[in-house]
Amino acid sequence: MSASPLAESAGQAPVLFQELPAGGGRRIGVATLNSPRTLNGLSLPMCRLLDDRLRAWAGDDGVAAVVLKGAGGKAFCAGGDLHSLYRAMLESPASDAWANVPAREFFETEYRLDHLIHRYPKPVLCWADGIVMGGGVGLMLGASHRIVTGATRFAMPEVTIGLYPDVAGTWMLSRLPRGIGAFLAFTGAQLGAADCLHYGLADRVCEAGEPDALLAALAATDWTADPACHAAQVDAALDACQVPAPEPGPLQRHADAIRLACGRADFLEIAAAIAAWKDHPDPWLARAAATFLAGSPGSARLSHTLLARARHQSLAETFRMEFAASLHCCAEPDFREGIRALLIDKDKSPRWNPATHEQATADWARRFLVPPVPEGEPHPLADLGP
């Protein structure tokens, strides 16, 4: 399949763009995250490139649909550029959340990009093969057609680095069945294709690997129909590529126990219930409990607070809330300490503050809800639609 002249040659560009010729004189836009050494972790330049091109394709009547995928065969996108955020935190005053200009630029750009995908006027297909975590989840969630494979490993493991499930993760998790969202936020538990499909986090399952068959089906489609029919035409192309749904995953199998344990209102009761699974005979639940116990108590409490609010908010309101919370995380010690322990010194021995779930009180978490925007200045995301 040949690409149009817009296609960029493989190389060091962090995002590669192609326009594949398709039926009816239309084209398929393909954006490939191209940082396989970092498992396609999202950097600020990558977010800017994606945002610019997606906006251009949205206004181009010749582009019928957009495909997002990752290079390297291991991950769609494993998260954000934590190394750059770590450097920014070291260079910024710890007491002033607003003073961290690189963090402000990154989160504003990333959240605008994610919001754009949620509200995109054309079909967006996310080929979520391999690792899909953090920032990758943000790109995937808003796509109109979210495609997982047998190799998909979906998770929001921010509790391990002193953050919380952002990129509208709190909005998404708060809308899952009661207790399920809290469990995923507190434990960073990994989900495969079956659980993603069952809980509405994905729409189709296809064979792992490059989406050649899907791209061929999209190229062979006659796109002369009214654009209002294009989503249905994407569905037809996917019908020819999907495989049977896999057997139920561990989240489905343990759903009743998780709802009972994590569907409570009291944070400490949920924490105790998850901790009690540390010796569970099922290694998936035992691993979830171990991750929770080793993770940041403050992150778990903050997730609990944000999930309760996001449940009653619009998507745009949630992005504005998360922008404030993320900047506060950059000014608090846990996020910096979590990155240090996992990626910088790699000792995997973070010193959390607060150190226990009891010390991570509701009052402590409420500080993260206050926008750090200086008086008189508009919120950077004030103009987002609903």
Convert the pLDDT of each residue in 349-376 to its tens digit.
Answer: 999 999 999 999 999 999 999 999 999 9
pLDDT at 2: 35
pTM of the model: 0.96
pLDDT at 6: 44
Q: Specify the CATH architecture of the domain 15-369.
A: Alpha-Beta Complex (3.90)
pLDDT at 1: 38
CA–CA distance, 253 with 275 (Å, rounded to integer): 19
Annotate 325-353 with DSSP letters as a single string.
Answer: HHHHHHHSHHHHHHHIIIIIS-------S
CA–CA distance, 219 with 1 (Å, rounded to integer): 9
- Between 284 and 93, the higher pLDDT residue: 284
Q: Report the percent of the chain where pLDDT is more than 70.
A: 97
Report yes or no: 82 and 102 within 8 Å, Cβ to Cβ.
no
CA–CA distance, 141 with 116 (Å, rounded to integer): 11
Q: With the CA atoms of 45, 48, 51 and 52 taken in that order, what torsion angle do they form, in degrees rounded to the nearest 10?
A: -110
pLDDT at 11: 56
